[in-house]
Amino acid sequence: MAHLAMADPEIASLIDHERIRLEETLNLIAAENHMPAAVLETLGSVLNTKTIEGYPGKRFHAGCVHVDEVETLAIARGRGLFGAEHVNVQPHSGTSANLAVYFAVLEVGDRILSMKLAHGGHLSHGHPASITGRCFDFRHYSVDPETELIDYAQVQRLAGEFQPRMIVAGASSYPRCIDYARMAKIARSISAYLLVDMAHLAGLVAAGVIPSPVPHSDFVTFTGYKTLMGPRGGVILCRAPFARKIDRTIFPGCQGTSAVNLIAAKALIFKLAGEKAFIDTQAQTVINATHLAVALAGRGYRIVTGGTDNHLVLVDVGARHLEGGEVEKLLETVGIIANRNVIPGDESKPGAVSGVRFGTAAVTTRGMGTAEMDMIADLIDRTLAGAHDASCLAGIKGEVQALCKRFPVYAY
Ligand SMILES: *Cc1c(COP(=O)(O)O)cnc(C)c1O
């Protein structure tokens, strides 16, 4: 980045520090991944120049000959990869994608049934602080307090009582597969639309390592940057009859010009997602998460739902008389990066966050396997046990850095 270093040494240096931080820490944030260098090149390309209002062949500015091909390619690849009838690659974010789906087929004030945030849902699924919650009348379903799995009987009952016009399935901290067929059946029984938000799962679904919601849903939304290893920004998949409504709701409904560099990077990751290296990484991500859950459980940690089917492990640190935020801070001091998370049951303890969420996507992308998951479980456990011993923590930090060194994120 020679030009940047000349133009703005301050920002250049901050970027370099961030690069080093990524290399020297274990990234267990479930909502992140390390993307291929080709994605970063695409994001930093001249495609950033072009203003594109409208859709390929129907633009409001001249000079779109090449960027039209970029977007057409992204759409075609997205359809092929996910087996979708229609794809919109323009959403600026996952939240914009969800908002557009709501506005495409609902009226302001309409009823929507979605998963409770404290049980794994997402802000854009009707949290009062989100614009989605201000525009629509949301009610939420929960997990069963015993099994911590989605209570499908409750979903069915609430659907009958509340008569929502849309049901949302999908979550940001639910470690189990969702029964999409069952959700679809419930939605059909009350003539509601089914939206599946697979933001966290898109890479795993693309690789075919967990079931796809696409055959069961009217709409599927996701972001590029989680397991999928692509750029920021969102994508909407939908059935053909909704294509025009979705496109018009994104532009001009919710957004102006979209970002061609992001669209090109989406096209790129849709191509890479069909290749063996990507599929192997996604399969290993799930194996690693299962392994990490077993390794932590073996060290006495309670795992929410007892395990995982995907890339994330939700640990109940409250059961060890620890608080999620404190654990997050402590782990960061040794270079283990994860986030505190509410877990089912936290509603009854206002202010307390009893969970910590660990994701295996980024560490798997840099090449780690089950042996390293054992080491990571051990490092986490020793960190929490050695909370008050500075020299012990310094030793662990050294071990974390040594492990990271063996698995470079980017080879320069
Ligand atoms: C991460 C996530 C989103 C998306 O997000 P943006 O931050 O708006 O891109 C949407 N839904 C779910 C379930 C998520 O986990």
CATH number for the domain harbouring residue 244: 3.40.640.10
User: Do 222 and 337 fall into the same domain?
Assistant: no
Q: Note whether residue 20 is domain-resident.
A: no
Q: Note whether residue 85 is domain-resident.
A: yes
Q: Give the Å distance between the CA of 201 and the centre of ligand 1.
A: 11
User: Do 99 and 217 fall into the same domain?
Assistant: yes
Rounded CA separation 81/20 (Å): 34
Sheet holding 137-141, edge to edge: 86-88, 234-238, 219-223, 193-197, 166-169, 111-115, 137-141
- Domain edge (last residue) among 272, 301, 327: 272
What average pLDDT does this structure show over 184-212?
Answer: 98
Residue positions counted in the chain: 412
User: Do 305 and 384 fall into the same domain?
Assistant: yes
User: Do 257 and 153 fall into the same domain?
Assistant: yes
* Residue among 96, 102, 122 whose CB has most ligand 1 atoms within 8 A, to mutate: 122
Atom of ligand 1 nearest to the CA of 200: 15
Q: Which CATH number belongs to the domain containing residue 367 in this structure?
A: 3.90.1150.10
Tell me how many domains the chain contains. 2
Q: Note whether residue 34 is domain-resident.
A: no
User: Do 234 and 330 fall into the same domain?
Assistant: no
User: Do 295 and 265 fall into the same domain?
Assistant: no
User: Do 49 and 182 fall into the same domain?
Assistant: yes
Instruction: Please give the span between the terminal C-alpha atoms of the chain, in angstroms, as a whole number.
Output: 13
Rounded CA separation 111/36 (Å): 41
Confidence of residue 118 (pLDDT cuts 50, 70, 90): confident
- Domain edge (last residue) among 209, 237, 272: 272
- In contact, 404 and 26? CB cutoff 8 Å: yes
| Average pLDDT of the chain, as a whole number | 96
Quick check: 237 pLDDT over 80?
yes
The residue behind tokens 């267990």 is: 28
Q: Note whether residue 31 is domain-resident.
A: no
User: Do 126 and 259 fall into the same domain?
Assistant: yes
Percent of the residues in the chain that have a pLDDT greater than 90, as a whole number:
96
Q: Give the Å distance between the CA of 271 and the centre of ligand 1.
A: 22
What residue type is 277 in one-letter code?
A: A
Atom of ligand 1 nearest to the CA of 96: 8
User: Do 240 and 328 fall into the same domain?
Assistant: no
Rounded CA separation 144/18 (Å): 41
- Phi, psi (rounded to 5 degrees) for 288: -65, -40
What residue type is 104 in one-letter code?
A: A
Q: Please tell me the predicted confidence (pLDDT) of residue 94.
A: 97
Pair of tokens at residue 97: 């994608």
Quick check: 350 pLDDT over 90?
no
DSSP letters for 321-352:
T--HHHHHHHHHHTTEE-EEE--TTGGGSTT-
Q: Please tell me the predicted confidence (pLDDT) of residue 106.
A: 98
Q: Note whether residue 21 is domain-resident.
A: no
Q: Give the Å distance between the CA of 134 and the centre of ligand 1.
A: 18
Half-sphere exposure of 312 (CA within 13 A, CB side): 29
Q: Give the Å distance between the CA of 221 and the centre of ligand 1.
A: 9
Q: Note whether residue 24 is domain-resident.
A: no
User: Do 217 and 289 fall into the same domain?
Assistant: no
Pair of tokens at residue 353: 């966050």
Nearest CA to ligand 1 atom 3: 94
* Residue among 198, 223, 235, 341 whose CB has most ligand 1 atoms within 8 A, to mutate: 223
Confidence of residue 143 (pLDDT cuts 50, 70, 90): very high
Nearest CA to ligand 1 atom 10: 94
Q: Note whether residue 26 is domain-resident.
A: no
- Domain edge (last residue) among 238, 272, 306: 272
Rounded CA separation 393/388 (Å): 8
Q: Note whether residue 35 is domain-resident.
A: no
Q: Please tell me the predicted confidence (pLDDT) of residue 352.
A: 79
pLDDT tens column, 23-44: 999 999 999 999 999 999 999 9
Q: Give the Å distance between the CA of 341 and the centre of ligand 1.
A: 15
Q: Please tell me the predicted confidence (pLDDT) of residue 386.
A: 84
Q: Give the Å distance between the CA of 250 and the centre of ligand 1.
A: 17
- 69: number of Cβ within 10 Å: 12
185 contact partners, CB below 8 Å, separation of at least 6:
none
Nearest CA to ligand 1 atom 4: 94
**Cα 236 vs. chain centroid, distance in angstroms?**
14
Give the domain extent around 384: 276-406
User: Do 66 and 215 fall into the same domain?
Assistant: yes
Provide the pairing of β-strand 166-169 with 193-197.
parallel
User: Do 74 and 177 fall into the same domain?
Assistant: yes
Q: Please tell me the predicted confidence (pLDDT) of residue 345.
A: 86
